[in-house]
Amino acid sequence: METSGFAVEVGGLIVAVGGLVVAVCGLVVAVCGLVTTMVAIRYAARQSTAAAEQVRISNGIAGVTTTQGVFNLLHQTLRLFVEHPELYPYFYEAKPIPPKGKDRARIHMTAEMLADVLSSALQMSRQVPSAKDGLTPWVMYATHMVATCLPLQEVMKRHPGWWPHLESLSPLPDGSPSAETGPVTPARPLFGTLSAPVRQAVQPSAD
């Protein structure tokens, strides 16, 4: 009877030890799983941070590229006033547009090019958030040109709907630009460093 009782005790002890071992193994597995999960979360957080940084850099590059592209378009248009200084007074000094002749056609084509550039800049400043800082002053520049540039006003009246972004700047309820007969101030806030050399190049000397 004693031997049988001892065997029972030993068997119970073995079962208890086995249960303890199973519990410890389960705890080890749980701890390993927790560590693995923490490592995975930390790795994912690093990946998310890196991805966010990459997106920020890409957006910045897109903004700079967009701004540079718009400036290049404007410079090409301004170069026309250097190559053909006779056009300058019509755009910046309120000289009346001739009723006919080759100069009238050239003035209209130049005005359409300028309208394309201004409208594109306004559109890009709204559609490319990262370019907004670089293109925000274009609103002031475009508003000034719409209000004072006679050739620009004329082509906008002739082709309503072609440049909706410019028409949205119009001070009149019907969408028509306001016509001003006085001299146009050529200074432009955005291109202060550029406008002076251009004006010097295209304006005739006092001699």
Report helix, strand and coil shares of the chain as percent, to nearest 5. 75, 0, 25
The pLDDT of residue 197 is above 50: no
Specify the pLDDT at position 85.
92
Residues constituting the chain? 207
Residue 27: Cβ within 10 Å count: 10
Integer Cα distance of 15 and 7 in angstroms: 12
For 74, the 3-state DSSP assignment is helix
Per the model's pLDDT, the better-predicted residue between 183 and 16 turns out to be 16
SS3 of residue 149 by DSSP: coil
- What pTM, to 2 d.p., does this model score? 0.55
Query: Does position 160 have pLDDT exceeding 80, yes or no?
Result: yes
Residue 205 per-residue DSSP state: P
Say which residue, 157 or 179, is predicted with more confidence: 157
Summarised one tens digit per residue, pLDDT across range 107-127 is 999 999 999 988 888 877 776
**Residue labelled with tokens 């800049």:** 121
In terms of Cβ atoms closer than 10 Å to its own Cβ (0-12, 13-18, 19+), residue 41 is exposed
25-53: average pLDDT: 62
Grade residue 69 by pLDDT with cuts at 50, 70 and 90: confident
